[in-house]
């Protein structure tokens, strides 16, 4: 089983990936939902970091990400444990990277500033570590924070799932980030991977994507997704 298939099963077993009837923030009716806030144990966050590390290593090996990445940046708040766990997992695999994250409010005492952990320097290459992108708002808020810290490069954005959904226009949020900032997003998995991996398959004795859920997912993707 590939790390992508393992990750999809892991999300389902963790209660992060669920199926049924849901309404997204945009008002769309969706047959599946991803809530990364449901990760809550040390074992889960440790395993999650390993999946992020596997994704990073895969794209370094392919040449899509540079070998000389300086640090992992986790936007406050959800990105913080993701960047830390990914850095720890990479270290176990022999790659020791810095990590850092921002405060929501700039500290005006002690060492001051908005950055915690590694302090970026001009010329550094930082990977942004996020969970799921819906509208790309977090990335748009993150870039000014990084640019205020130093003249850094952002060679990539790592996320857990690409829902592949259009925003207000014809492009997905990921495509808009590429268009507006030149940053490539690397998801661990896509919604297509989820459909292909779990369709008709039992997880803990239960089929999560049966014929009805598959039909509804395919219709949802036809209505809202860009392949």
pLDDT at position 140 is 84
CATH number for 117: 3.40.50.2020
pLDDT at position 109 is 45
Q: Look up the pTM and report it.
A: 0.93
* Per-residue tens of pLDDT for the chain, all 227 residues: 699 999 999 999 999 999 999 998 778 899 999 999 899 999 999 999 999 999 999 999 999 999 999 999 999 888 999 999 999 999 999 999 999 999 866 555 445 467 899 999 999 999 999 998 876 777 888 898 898 889 999 999 999 999 998 876 889 989 999 999 999 999 999 999 999 999 999 999 999 999 999 999 999 999 999 87
Cα 144 from chain centroid?
19
Q: Could you say which of 107, 121, 125, 178 is catalytic?
A: 107
Task: Look at residues 93, 159, 150 and name the one whose alpha carbon lies nearest to residue 126.
Answer: 150
Annotated active-site residue 107? The verdict is yes
Residue 127 near residue 155, CB atoms below 8 Å: yes
Residues in Cβ contact with 91 at an 8 Å cutoff, skipping those fewer than 6 apart:
97
Q: Structurally, how many domains does the chain consist of?
A: 1
Q: Which residue has the tokens 């992508």?
A: 4
Domain span at residue 178? 3-224
Number of Cα atoms under 13 Å in the Cβ half of residue 34: 19
Other CB atoms within 10 A of residue 164 CB: 18
Q: Token pair of 136, please?
A: 């790309």
Q: Which residue has the tokens 């459909």?
A: 195
Task: Look at residues 105, 130, 127 and name the one whose alpha carbon lies nearest to residue 116.
Answer: 105
Annotated active-site residue 59? The verdict is no
- Residue 24 has φ and ψ, to the nearest 5°, of -80, 170
- Residue 148 has φ and ψ, to the nearest 5°, of -75, -25
Other CB atoms within 10 A of residue 5 CB: 16
Q: Which residue has the tokens 């409010």?
A: 105
């Amino acid at each position: 089983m590939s790390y992508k298939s393992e990750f999809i099963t892991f999300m389902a077993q963790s209660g992060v990936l669920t199926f049924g009837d849901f309404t997204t923030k945009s008002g769309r009716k969706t047959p599946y939902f991803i809530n990364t806030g449901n990760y809550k144990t040390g074992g889960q966050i440790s395993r999650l970091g390993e999946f992020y590390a596997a994704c990073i290593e895969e794209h370094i090996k392919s040449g899509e990400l540079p070998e000389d990445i300086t640090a992992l940046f986790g936007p406050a708040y959800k990105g913080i444990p993701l960047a830390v766990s990914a850095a720890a997992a990479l270290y176990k695999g022999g790659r020791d990277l810095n990590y850092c994250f921002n405060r929501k409010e700039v500290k005006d005492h002690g060492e001051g500033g908005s950055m915690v952990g590694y302090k970026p320097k001009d010329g550094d290459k930082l990977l942004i570590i996020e969970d799921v992108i819906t509208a790309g708002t977090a990335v748009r808020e993150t870039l000014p924070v990084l640019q205020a810290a130093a003249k850094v490069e952002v060679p990539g954005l790592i996320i857990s799932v690409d829902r592949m959904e259009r925003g207000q226009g014809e492009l997905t949020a990921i495509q808009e980030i590429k268009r507006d900032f030149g940053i490539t997003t690397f998801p661990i998995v896509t919604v297509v991977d989820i459909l292909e991996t779990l369709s008709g398959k039992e997880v803990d004795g239960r089929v999560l994507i049966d014929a009805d859920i598959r039909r509804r997912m395919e219709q949802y993707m036809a209505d809202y997704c860009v392949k």
